[in-house]
Structure 1
Amino acid sequence: MGDESLPPEELLSVEDQHETSEAGSKSSDDMMSQDSVDGIELVEEAKADEDGWAKMFIWSDTETVVARFDKVMMVTLQAITEGKILLTTHGLYFRQTGNVINVMTKETDQKEKQGDYHDQRWRLSRLTEVHGRRFMLRAQAIELFFSDSHELFLNFSDGARDRDRFYAKIRNSCQVPMLWSPKSLNPRVVFKKSKLSNLWKKGIISNFEYLMQINKMAGRTFNDITQYPVFPWVLADYTSESIDLSDSRVYRDLTKPVGALNESRLAGLIERYNDLVAFGFSEKEKFLYGSHYSSPGVVLHYLIRQEPFTTMAIELQSGRFDCPDRLFFDIAGCWRSCNTSTSDVKELVPELFTCPEVFVNTNGFPLGQTQDERSIENVALPPWAKGSAHEFVRIHRLALESDYVSEHLNHWIDLVFGYKQRGAEAEAAHNVFHYLSYEGAVDLDKITDEVDRNATESHIQNFGQTPSQLLTKEAHPSKYPGHARWSPLIHNEEVTEHLRYHTPSNQVGGKKKGTVKGAAVSIHVLSDFVIVVYANMSVGTYKFSTSRSGSKSPFSFKLDKHKGFCRKELSSSRNAIKRGSAAPSEMESNKSHLSVGSHSFGITIGGEARESIRRKAQQSRLTSAKDSLSTAELHASIVSCGYWDDTVKVHSVDGLKLTCSDTGGHRGPVRCLALGDDGALMVTGGNDATCRVWVVDHPDMAVALSDGYVKTALGEALDREKQLICCHILWGHVAPITCVSLSSDLDVVVSGSLDGAVCVHTVRRGTYVRTIRPLNRTNAINAARKITLHGTGDFCVAMEDHTLHSYTVNDVHLASTDAGEALNDMLITSFGSVLVTGGELGWIVCRSVRDLLVLSVLDLSRQGPIRCLSTTPDDLNPTPQYLFVGSDDGTVTIVDEDPQSAERSETVDFNGRN
């Protein structure tokens, strides 16, 4: 919709209009009378006064008004707030002007009626995505996603015209440097342009991530309980003592909707379906299933043990819990009901694959007793989960990522989001729901009878809404077969038994060369480009490529360049602490933390470059690994810490030129750092007991996270030319930081300190979450030595006393063990089930994250202690994944899976070790 259709006052900012009015009043050729000019000025003054509430926030010097929208609803999970929006070049401001309506009870908040209004602002510099949404099946809503993990769902009461104009204004008149959504708000267009299915087919993104993205594009949202994301039942065995995920018999048939899984039940439903016309139903109104696979009741059924869903479930039942026999208390019983009851065809929600807490009544809610006097507390889990909610979620997630589900998931997508959702194909697939669940089935504005309208609205709100249809004619493509798609090196515990290693001869390190260049302390791998940092502050770059079948070696690893980038004395441990800022005397024994190691270095291609590659991949414009290689060579940088001047430094890999040096406000040495998977976020830990969140080479993100365009008492506006920009200070520790790890996707950083405490913070907002103190066998100070966090929310921490612990970020203790050595580096593999460690013994040890039991050991001790570990990242590599190991003698060893031993292996279930 073009600007020419907008009212004149919205074509210019207030300031522009005022200047135009003044110019007009001074012109001798002005056609308007002085009274007309005065009238315009009065209108503008009134507009300015009307916007005064928004001026209570700090505005940028160049911020101007773009548009106003007076009839808007802000939709959240629990409430709908009526208000108005002021859109400026830099921000989106919301003021409540009407009622706050409870989603479940439809009651208005009496406090809000009394005029206690709340004004809110969202900075558009943080806006990353915008998606069209439906509200009450009408395509007149929009959802905005921000880089700091905020989301905003807005419904425009005056219809789609206002919604579309709002989005056009954002794209054309506002400063939104991080926005990369398509111009269209049509879900089908967005899905087609995204090309995400190509990444999924190749295995670059997981089944879970793909389903989350499809849900997002099809209008499913965590802000509207009536349109909550929907996930499939994937398993059919909830009674066995153990489960073999390689056995197709344990899986649900994904080619059929839940209601069609039981043939005898389906026969009865079909008979009723054929008889509906005789009972007065039109062909349009006929349905197989009166209930839906996703509705507010379904969501609250699964999530009743966790707030705010507990409160919402009580509100749905008029102030009490539902009948205990109808609550979610047994996963096997729930699956049985979905297979037998004619009124129960529900699918799942994402939390059943990610959040063990939904199965545990940690809040002690009085859920009652069933008719057979069974007390309801935690959800009864399958025997193969061994009574552990964490174990159930782990296996459930592995099942979702299994070969069977990967090969059949496209059929389920056809049913829920694709061409079998509606019409003749839906009828043939027995996938027909009540007509009021489908978009376009009814126009509420044309229902004049208030009783009929209320009944229709109630049905839409409470009995389920079918997602927007993404594919209307063609079937969703299937995933490539296992041998043709990318797969993590260690995708399950069984693979650990088939690992082998290779030590290339053409490299810098190795004792046989006669001179040791220093330990390999940090490795970073791109598509066919490997960067190795050595302890003597030199850097080796290697060309890496897989070999053709029949070659003696499975890959080629050749030295390209080797050069020093810093004098050793600038980073040696004995000079790392400045005089007067040494560690407390009782901690002197732990000075080893300041030695050069994997915690001292990070390598990144830069936030903007990394994001560019990701966007090209999603748009199918990344044609080969050479594209990412050229980007890497151009942008790759080494970030390092531990210097005498308390700075973090950046050197270019190409030329090893110093490009940036900054303290970020740390007082004393910067002891450790960690980079996020996105290449843009970095966290440092200092001797001052603080962590700092930085943005690396991504000025737009730096502005977004730090409000850097605003001049404040703290100083001038942000310098966009700086390669390193500190955005947040993380408080919570009382001792020097010794190790950090972060997950960009999870938006979480975990940090360990010299006194053994582990703190959890959010990254983008810099918010403190909690402190966890791993078990200590003695009263002596036991520093955290190394920590690694996975996107599933599990993390492992190695202590100075050689103990190893696994936790969740929600402070659930999973396991503890004695590692038997000092661990120098560790990582959790792609699917989150296996921990790989390397330490002073020179062994690569694979352990299960859930219990820390040893799965396999590779002996690399002839190269000395292991100093660092790295894998090829999944989002940049079409080739198989490899594990790179840096040893004390400077040798780089490459680990992969032995295909021959894998073919000979026997099936191992996910509960045994045999």
Structure 2
Amino acid sequence: CNPERVFWKLDFMESSLRMRRCLRRNYRGSAHFGAAANYEDDPSAKHDAERVMNASNASALAVEAISAGALNEDDEHARIDNRASDFDGEQQEDHYPRQSGGAELSVQVPSESHDTSTSGRDMAEDPSAVGLGYVPSELDERIMLELPCSMLRPLRVVRGTFQITTKRINFIAENIEANSCGDELSHNPEVKYQEKNRSWLISSLHQIYSRRYLLRRSALELFMLDRANYFFDFGTSEGRRNAYRAIVHARPPHLNNIYLATQRPDQLLKRTQLMERWARWEISNFEYLMQLNMLAGRSYNDITQYPVFPWILADYTSQSLDLSNPSSYRDLSKPVGALNPERLKKFQERYSSFDDPVIPKFHYGSHYSSAGTVLYYLVRLEPFTTLSIQLQGGKFDHADRMFSDVGATWDGVLEDMSDVKELVPELFYLPEVLTNENSIDFGTTQLGEKLDFVKLPPWAENPVDFIHKHRMALESEHVSAHLHEWIDLVFGYKQRGKEAIAANNVFFYITYEGTVDIDKISDPLQQRATQDQIAYFGQTPSQLLTVPHVKRMPLAEVLHMQTIFRNPKELKPFVVPMSGRCNLPASAMHASSDSVIIVDMHAPAAYVAQHKWQPNTPDGQGAPFLFQHGKATTSSSGGALMRMFRGPTGASSDDWQFPQALAFPASGIRSSAVVAITSDKEIVTGGHADNSIRIISADGAKTLETAVGHCAPVTCLALSSDSSYLVTGSRDTTVLLWRIHRMVTSLSANVSEAPSTPTSTSSNALANIIADKSRRRHIEGPIHVLQGHLREVLCCCVSSDLGIVVSCSQSSDVLLHSIRRGRLIRRLIGVEAHAVCLSSDGIIMAWNETLCTLSTFTVNGIVVASVELPFSGSISCMEVSFDGHTALVGINSCSEEGSFGTNRSWQSKQQGNETLSTGSNEKLDKCRLDVPSPSICFLDLYTLKVLHILKLQTGQDITAIALNKDNTNLLVSTMDKQLIIFTDPALSLKVVDQMLKLGWEGDGLSPLIK
């Protein structure tokens, strides 16, 4: 590789939705010079190794290989009772020698854990490599099973030994490697990409799935608590069963019980209740499709059985995309091959006229998902670029046949008799599949055009805009109302039999599970040819349903989806009475389902108040919520020591004092930057003169714990959304990553009893509370020291779901670090920011106070949009909706220097393709918007256009804002000591009406007051 060039590849770190958003540095990257199909090369190197076969022209298989029976997996049921409780410390070793290792930890898990969900809490943990010939190191550890297997990697298949002990799962690699088809690559022990031996703690296993590989149900896919997953093929069904049983008998403490009772995909769908949760809008369309793919045997680890997603849109020519127009969408009730009536007639004629004694009739001689389809879409992204070259015999396909135009590809699947392909998940979340990040030469078309970025529809400004709108279309009400029809075709009752025939949905017979028994083909050459044929032609997912799929509820009936962002024009302000008893103005607030915590502006020596409230419950006096003020401590006039829920008479604002945290603040600390409130209602503070961070209680402001890691005062801190990680920035220029543990005593009441999806996240998951009960410490760490800043750190944020930390300092550049390894993964060069925040969609929003600009970027450094506030003023706070699409920005009428203004004129600049490729000389679409101040702006994160404005009164500069968990209420603290709650009053009436229909009898806050 060229040492002067920087190459990128896909990071396989997955979010809770199984999205792989981040790119990472590829130290072994290559420009693949000479791989273009039209490149003039040595004639001896030009050979055709294309193995994709058209089923209609392929020879028929032996009759003895045809079988309609499916393997029943219920014989793998094994009972377990007493679960292992040990969680041994695991050595962390880097699998990429060019990078240095991070901090290593030894932690324990409570033995009573039975929860089935997983969170990002273990992102800093990673499987270790082990030495050759692993030998158990503990007296109570013994080997339970050893058998040969192959581990599927993105570019090759690594052969080795699968070993299960009472403590670990080990893979001991051999020096023989194969490509993704199983062809042997090398016997050389010095092979360049030799795999290291791998080891995982049994206690890190979360899910286990039975998988097919090369037509055999001989594989297992293991999913870990940190969302890493590994695919092992054991060659035979018997080998797979033995491995499965050995794993179960090892009693993994966090293995989801659902996967112990059965491995049948249809039974797993019932047990997980995914369909019911989707129908109630508890999970998104994207998450549901990913889960269905996973249950049906589709895997990121097997290129021949990659997850399949539907074409959603049918409009790729309009200047603007109207998602409210049904004609903008593809007909989801029909397979791709049936979308064009004229072409369908030809398929039907072929079906009717086809007559063969061995091969059943079929409509389509190609498949909607295959290795070729996956590489067609993902060829611009490593490791798929390299894999495409390998499978094409050392060259790319001809440029005219490669993915170059979204609209042209859609036309092709409508017109071409051999093209019925669907889409891949990445086209709904990863704009880099449409760009050429590594500047690869893919060749030149017959028209002389150089193949580079994918051409987008007119309605898409750039790849980020296309992906965003594509995802919005997938999650639209129209698609939600019809997605079950497509599921019936691909995973459901229309996949096979008479219903498939009636739906024009019949594919070549060997693509269906159970129709071919590869072990009954006696001729090894024919057996191998059959495997090659199906591996590259495509495989139909396992059938999950034999009855029609349920419909999704109408969105208007789903109350938890009626957020303030859905219809902001209906929001009304409600001022909480007796503001003197609210502990205002606030530097930080936290709104849970039953309380509001307010920390005042004196942080870290802050006064703390905890108020009772019930959102979306009318109080009978005009407010759509119940609010009752919290308890106070000793009054300034020597009153009672403690008063709880004091009435409106007999107390002035001076008489109402709240407990104060004992602290010695460092000088020059901004109070709002050094306070964060956990989901357990505990307050984390920085800015102490002794350089510490502290956890204080919301009830009494008592110091619960102190931790020290910095060499200078903490200037900023932030929690992940699930409160599992804390990041702190300091004047010592470093950012520290800490893990936050929950108190065991408070867990039992918070554990959700609802069945979870296989990869769902939950901050209440006992399985992910890595806490040593003997010490009961809240703060663990620092687990990583994140370096790269040259001056004082101003702001930081962390996402356990995305696995990244974002920080900015007084020096230029915004830095992105990895949670798992603590390494710098990207530097946004030249981006100066005084505040940053991170959305669940991977959009970074940065505020530059000096230039008065607000900008957004992807986690891979692509500039998305920028707005300018040309007058003096300030942004006091920023929040992002839980869906990651909308930002709330508090705009004050005066800056910190005290200058005032009346109106703000914002200039919106959405970046075009030029910004993505060169970062300069971009064409900007400009519009000017008048924004009054003080106010709260609703901004589209992808365009930074103002969606709505909540205007406040003069003198009500905003000090803090907070959203409750379901985003139905917005709490605003103002400088004039007011607490204003914005909500839709009609929602509370709907909630009460629904609860009354269920037989609820409410009595206000009395159940909450003990």
- The aligned amino acid for 1:847 is L
3-state secondary structure, aligned to 1:264: helix
- The aligned amino acid for 1:354 is Y
Aligned to 2:326: 248
Match of 1:525 among 582, 591, 612: 591
| Conserved 8 A contact 2:662-2:703 | no
1:500 aligns with 2:571: yes
Provide the C-alpha distance between the structure 1 equivalents of 2:764 and 2:431, rounded to a whole number of angstroms.
34
Aligned to 2:48: none
How do residues 851-866 of structure 1 correspond to structure 2 at under 5 angstroms? 851-862=943-954, 864-866=956-958
3-state secondary structure, aligned to 2:534: helix
Provide the C-alpha distance between the structure 1 equivalents of 2:764 and 2:884, rounded to a whole number of angstroms.
30
Match of 1:325 among 371, 382, 400: 400
Match of 2:453 among 367, 372, 378: 378
Gaps of 5+ in 2: 1-73, 80-129, 634-656, 745-762, 894-933, 988-1010
| Conserved 8 A contact 1:883-1:896 | yes
Provide the C-alpha distance between the structure 1 equivalents of 2:219 and 2:565, rounded to a whole number of angstroms.
40
3-state secondary structure, aligned to 1:351: helix
Cα 1:826–1:456 change in 2 (3 A) is same
Provide the C-alpha distance between the structure 1 equivalents of 2:414 and 2:528, rounded to a whole number of angstroms.
32
Aligned to 1:822: 874
Aligned to 2:373: 298
Provide the C-alpha distance between the structure 2 equivalents of 1:62 and 1:688, rounded to a whole number of angstroms.
45
More displaced 10-residue stretch of structure 1: 726-735 or 247-256: 726-735
Provide the C-alpha distance between the structure 1 equivalents of 2:394 and 2:450, rounded to a whole number of angstroms.
21
Aligned to 1:413: 487
> Could you tell me how far 1:179 is from its partner in structure 2?
5.5
Provide the C-alpha distance between the structure 1 equivalents of 2:310 and 2:719, rounded to a whole number of angstroms.
34
- The aligned amino acid for 1:683 is V
3-state secondary structure, aligned to 1:804: strand
Provide the C-alpha distance between the structure 2 equivalents of 1:528 and 1:501, rounded to a whole number of angstroms.
21
Cα 1:506–1:187 change in 2 (3 A) is farther
| Conserved 8 A contact 1:105-1:315 | no
Aligned to 1:674: 718
Aligned to 1:70: 147
- Deviation digits for residues 294-340 of structure 1 (CA, Å, limit 9, x no counterpart): 11100100111111111111222211111222111110110111111
- Deviation digits for residues 45-100 of structure 1 (CA, Å, limit 9, x no counterpart): xxxxxx973558xx775661242322111012221111102223333221113621
Aligned to 2:640: none
- The aligned amino acid for 2:169 is L
> Could you tell me how far 1:702 is from its partner in structure 2?
14
Match of 2:660 among 550, 559, 567: 567
> Could you tell me how far 1:212 is from its partner in structure 2?
1.8
Aligned to 2:817: 761
Cα 1:481–1:175 change in 2 (3 A) is closer
- The aligned amino acid for 1:471 is L
Match of 1:347 among 422, 443, 446: 422
The structure, 1 or 2, with the larger RCO (C-alpha pairs under 8 Å, 6+ apart) is 2
Provide the C-alpha distance between the structure 1 equivalents of 2:860 and 2:542, rounded to a whole number of angstroms.
34
How do residues 606-685 of structure 1 correspond to structure 2 at under 5 angstroms? 636-653=681-698, 656-663=701-708, 665-685=709-729
| Conserved 8 A contact 1:101-1:109 | yes
> Could you tell me how far 1:660 is from its partner in structure 2?
2.5
More displaced 10-residue stretch of structure 1: 726-735 or 414-423: 726-735
Cα 1:168–1:737 change in 2 (3 A) is farther
More displaced 10-residue stretch of structure 1: 62-71 or 202-211: 62-71
Provide the C-alpha distance between the structure 1 equivalents of 2:764 and 2:980, rounded to a whole number of angstroms.
37
Match of 1:539 among 609, 631, 653: 609
Aligned to 1:692: 736
1:810 aligns with 2:860: yes
Provide the C-alpha distance between the structure 2 equivalents of 1:4 and 1:517, rounded to a whole number of angstroms.
58
Provide the C-alpha distance between the structure 2 equivalents of 1:549 and 1:694, rounded to a whole number of angstroms.
41
- The aligned amino acid for 1:791 is S
| Conserved 8 A contact 2:175-2:188 | no
3-state secondary structure, aligned to 1:208: helix
> Could you tell me how far 1:704 is from its partner in structure 2?
13
3-state secondary structure, aligned to 1:365: coil
> Could you tell me how far 1:682 is from its partner in structure 2?
2.4
- The aligned amino acid for 1:811 is G
Aligned length in residues: 773
Cα 1:152–1:505 change in 2 (3 A) is same
Aligned to 2:941: 849
1:226 aligns with 2:226: no
Among all aligned residue pairs of Structure 1 and Structure 2, give the percentage whose two residues are the same amino acid: 35
Provide the C-alpha distance between the structure 1 equivalents of 2:775 and 2:399, rounded to a whole number of angstroms.
58
> Could you tell me how far 1:399 is from its partner in structure 2?
0.8
Provide the C-alpha distance between the structure 2 equivalents of 1:553 and 1:788, rounded to a whole number of angstroms.
32
- Deviation digits for residues 362-383 of structure 1 (CA, Å, limit 9, x no counterpart): 3222222323333322111110
Aligned to 1:186: 264
Give the number of the structure whose residues are more often helix, by fraction.
1
> Could you tell me how far 1:680 is from its partner in structure 2?
1.9
Match of 1:265 among 343, 346, 350: 343
Aligned to 1:576: 666
> Could you tell me how far 1:240 is from its partner in structure 2?
0.3
- The aligned amino acid for 1:833 is H
Aligned to 2:970: 883
1:596 aligns with 2:671: yes
| Conserved 8 A contact 2:511-2:539 | yes
> Could you tell me how far 1:114 is from its partner in structure 2?
7.0
Cα 1:643–1:129 change in 2 (3 A) is farther
- Deviation digits for residues 670-722 of structure 1 (CA, Å, limit 9, x no counterpart): 2222222233222222333222222222599999999999xxxxxxx996622
| Conserved 8 A contact 2:563-2:968 | yes
Cα 1:330–1:558 change in 2 (3 A) is same
- The aligned amino acid for 1:859 is K
More displaced 10-residue stretch of structure 1: 639-648 or 241-250: 639-648
1:90 aligns with 2:161: no
Provide the C-alpha distance between the structure 2 equivalents of 1:435 and 1:558, rounded to a whole number of angstroms.
67
> Could you tell me how far 1:5 is from its partner in structure 2?
12
Aligned to 2:413: 338
> Could you tell me how far 1:528 is from its partner in structure 2?
4.3
| Conserved 8 A contact 2:673-2:795 | no
- Deviation digits for residues 627-646 of structure 1 (CA, Å, limit 9, x no counterpart): xxxxxxxxx32333223333
| Conserved 8 A contact 2:280-2:558 | yes
Cα 1:667–1:193 change in 2 (3 A) is farther
Match of 1:127 among 197, 205, 213: 205
Provide the C-alpha distance between the structure 1 equivalents of 2:269 and 2:889, rounded to a whole number of angstroms.
40
- The aligned amino acid for 2:981 is I
Cα 1:117–1:773 change in 2 (3 A) is closer
| Conserved 8 A contact 2:607-2:659 | yes
Aligned to 1:633: none
3-state secondary structure, aligned to 1:503: strand
Provide the C-alpha distance between the structure 2 equivalents of 1:75 and 1:343, rounded to a whole number of angstroms.
29
3-state secondary structure, aligned to 1:539: strand
1:895 aligns with 2:979: no
3-state secondary structure, aligned to 1:576: coil
Gaps of 5+ in 1: 7-50, 578-590, 606-635, 710-716, 777-783, 875-879, 901-914
Aligned to 2:906: none
3-state secondary structure, aligned to 1:199: helix
Provide the C-alpha distance between the structure 2 equivalents of 1:703 and 1:197, rounded to a whole number of angstroms.
22
3-state secondary structure, aligned to 1:384: coil
| Conserved 8 A contact 1:203-1:485 | no
- Deviation digits for residues 105-159 of structure 1 (CA, Å, limit 9, x no counterpart): 8341353587966322223343333222221233322222223342211112242
Match of 2:555 among 465, 481, 485: 481
Alpha-carbon RMSD across the aligned residues, in angstroms, is 3.4
More displaced 10-residue stretch of structure 1: 515-524 or 93-102: 515-524
Aligned to 1:625: none
| Conserved 8 A contact 1:95-1:117 | no
> Could you tell me how far 1:656 is from its partner in structure 2?
4.9
How do residues 783-802 of structure 1 correspond to structure 2 at under 5 angstroms? 784-801=833-850, 802=852
Cα 1:136–1:162 change in 2 (3 A) is same
1:427 aligns with 2:501: yes
Aligned to 2:786: 730
- The aligned amino acid for 1:867 is T
Cα 1:128–1:787 change in 2 (3 A) is farther
